[in-house]
Amino acid sequence: MRLKKMGWVMAMVLATTAHADEGMWMPSQLPSIGKQLRAAGFQGNPADLADLTKAPLSAVVKVGGATGSFVSSDGLVLTNHHVAFGVIQYNSNAQRDLIQNGFVSHDRAEELPANPDFRLRVTTGFDKVTDKVLGAAKGKTGRAYYDAVDAASKALVTECEREPGMRCSVVNMFYGRDFYLVKQLELRDVRLVYAPPRAIGNYGDEVDNFVWPRHSGDFTVLRAYVGPDGKPADYAKDNVPYHPPAHLQIASQGVREGDFVVLAGYPGVTYRHRTAAEFADQVQWRLPTTVDVLRQLQEVIEEIGHTDRQATIRYASQLQSLKNSIKRFSGELDGLRRSDAVAIRRRDEDAMMAWLATQPSAATLRPQIDEVAQLIAVGNATRERDLLVAVMQTQTQLMRSALALQRLAHERAKPDAQRETGYQQRDEDLTAGMLRQVQRRYDPKVEKQLLASLLARYQKLPDAQRLPEFDAAFGRSPAQLSDALDRVYAATQLGDEAQRLHWLKAEPMELAKSDDALLVLAARLQPALLRIEEERKAREGDLLRLRPAYMDALIAYREKQGRAVYPDANSTLRVSYGKVTPLEARDAVVYRPLTTTAGIVEKNTGVEPFDAPKPLLDAIARGDYAGYADARTGAMPVDFLSNLDTTGGNSGSPVLNAKGELVGLNFDSNWEAVSASWMFDPRYKRAIHVDLRYMRWLMDKVYPAPQLLKELGVPAHAAP
């Protein structure tokens, strides 16, 4: 696919401000920093990193909400254990617990289908479409501006998706300054091939999460399938493996301190270019409140799970996600406070504004920047209500399903192009997949307790943030709330998969006449949710219109400072580069960049989360590391550190050496650097990776999969 370049002015800015340890670069930006890449140690052609049709980028894929990479010509995909945890959980039950025991497929017939809404996407195009998106928005404000951008984006997506099997989206860079059309091949049949047991894939669990040193084998192998005609298709037994345009080669040699490494992946969201007011809100309210809300949900699931093994399995993936988010947000808060981020960002913004006042553009930019500040303050007035409503819609199964069905019925009254994103015809397969998986991730007593926890907080909100529809549905006291939830969940049939899928296909009038208690409740709540959405879109429309003024000022000011300028991450393909690097975490505390199997034994207590499986401990005791041990020390590597610039979404990202060979698999950041999503500090920012020598050794000596190693191009080593 044709890749459009950024303008020459921006390219020159980038070329003079890049640093090896900072930057989540768009592929099209990489030629402009080619000198820095080569100086850092890259031995390939930087232009190749800008071409989505060539390796390595053509082998890097979006897996769920994270990253993976093709590692064989027959569609094998390598990603993290925690990224594929939902797939593992979906295939587990009390009689066949793949979470605890792991899974090894000995032939393709044994490979297990992923949950129905699991997707793998291969980016094939990334074209700048700013003029097309903003053309109709000129002169508009608020909701009208939002709608103009939305309509233009949907038109581009519709045209792009005329090609079968494609999933397209329009993303904005620099907060509405530029827009790009992203084209992705969407593969819908993904299967589980190999997963280590929990006590390897998640060794240390939350105790070690975001902590170095790590000793986790956080990897899983999947395989992508297509129909017999070679086109994307839903799961079917006669589907065939997908043949990717390229796949990564696993390196025969490992890494050592100081080695050049490069990473490609889909980092989620960063906020480094946000305003000082938003930094303050994040530290002073948003992070501590979100942690408190999510921790309450964690406690609900764990409390019920103590006496209900089936509930534990059904909510294992959700619980893992909650724990990860809590740990991450807690670390982010700790780091931002430690670095005094609010004060630093305020001083930086004040200096930028003082500099802007001396520039000819100040008369145009400053009033727009002031409007941005006012809009942010308006949004903060209802922030707690909006947080609770959002969490209610994402952390439930039946309630989420009912709300989705009612919203879909509402949207079906409109022409498809005017429907809300997520409820167009293109989205109905994903909605169906979500509805089909509910059965394996739902328990009524857990869901009622989750809702009770969230809505009890809602009932304490001041009147200015209350919603009449919610008060009427749930009452204003804990007793009324409990009674309402008991009545609704006792009189709903949405726990039955056939009923959910029936309502998905039903005409809106039929749904409106339903007496299913949860569907009726969702219909009563919908006006409030639509009203919140209307307010948000009007505000976001003006922010889309006005934030580019802030970015124009910030980019020009950063250029004056000689600092890096790259777009905040937004789940699009990015490349980072750096070196295998130790960490000086604090005074007199220095960490080496590689861990070994000796650390697994040192940590092992036999009690979760440090309960290494007996086959692993036995293999370590045998010391049969031939072909995998570090050449200098003789030790068996497990994980390693680098100074690569990563964030959430980079989980599963391939880590390549100077020759472009696969040496690691990104899976975490260190505690000291979790706050890097907002503020980058080269002293502390480190990324944590599985050393692929450890993965290969496990697949050879511990939980053998010789046929898989052969397909990966790294045959098993014979015993000495």
Report long-range pairs for 226-229 (Cβ below 8 Å, ≥24 apart).
226/187, 226/189
Of the candidates 68, 79, 112, 90, the residue with the CA atom closest to the CA atom of residue 219:
79
**DSSP single-letter state for residue 269:** B
Radius of gyration for the alpha carbons in the chain, expressed in angstroms and rounded: 25
582 in helix, strand or coil?
Answer: coil
Tokens coding 513: 């006449």
CB of 446 closer than 8 Å to CB of 454: no
Residue 90 phi, psi (nearest 5): -60, -35
Classify residue 131 by burial, with Cβ atoms within 10 Å: 0-12, 13-18, 19+: exposed
Helices (H), 562-613: 597-603
Phi then psi for residue 426, to 5 deg, are -65, -20
Is 218 known to be catalytic?
yes
Among 278, 397, 269, 312, smallest CA distance to 89 is for 312
* Residues 627, 243 contacting (CB under 8 angstroms): no
Query: Measuring CA to CA, which residue among 213, 235, 240, 268 is closest to residue 75?
Result: 240
Q: Is 691 exposed, middle or buried (0-12, 13-18, 19+ CB in 10 A)?
A: buried
In 48-111, DSSP assigns E strands to 60-63, 66-70, 76-79, 103-104
Tell me the one-letter amino acid at 175. Answer: Y
Side chain identity at residue 719, one-letter code = A
The amino acid at residue 35 is K
- Residue whose C-alpha is closest to residue 81's, from 177, 192, 171, 233: 192
Cα separation of 288 and 651, whole Å?
24
Q: Measured on CA atoms in the order 593, 598, 604, 609, is the torsion positive or negative?
A: positive
Cis? peptide before 609, omega within 30° of 0: yes
- CA distance linking residue 634 with residue 623, whole number of Å: 10
Question: 664 and 690 in contact (C-beta within 8 Å)?
Answer: yes
- Among candidate residues 444, 430, 453, the one with its CA nearest the CA of residue 504: 430
Q: Which is catalytic among the residues 81, 82, 215, 689?
A: 82
Contact 572, 126 (CB under 8 A): yes
Residue type, 431: T
Tokens of 185: 């091949």
Pick the catalytic residue from 205, 208, 218, 691. 218
With beta carbons less than 8 A apart as the criterion, state whether 480 and 499 touch.
Answer: no
Asked if 690 contacts 219 with a C-beta cutoff of 8 angstroms, the reply is yes
As a dihedral over the C-alpha atoms of residue 342, residue 345, residue 350, residue 352, rounded to 10 degrees, the angle is -170
Measuring CA to CA, how many Å separate 478 from each of 342, 347, 459?
37, 45, 8
How many whole angstroms separate alpha carbon 432 and alpha carbon 435? 5
Q: Which of 32, 58, 92, 651 is catalytic?
A: 651
Hey, which residues are catalytic here? 82, 218, 651
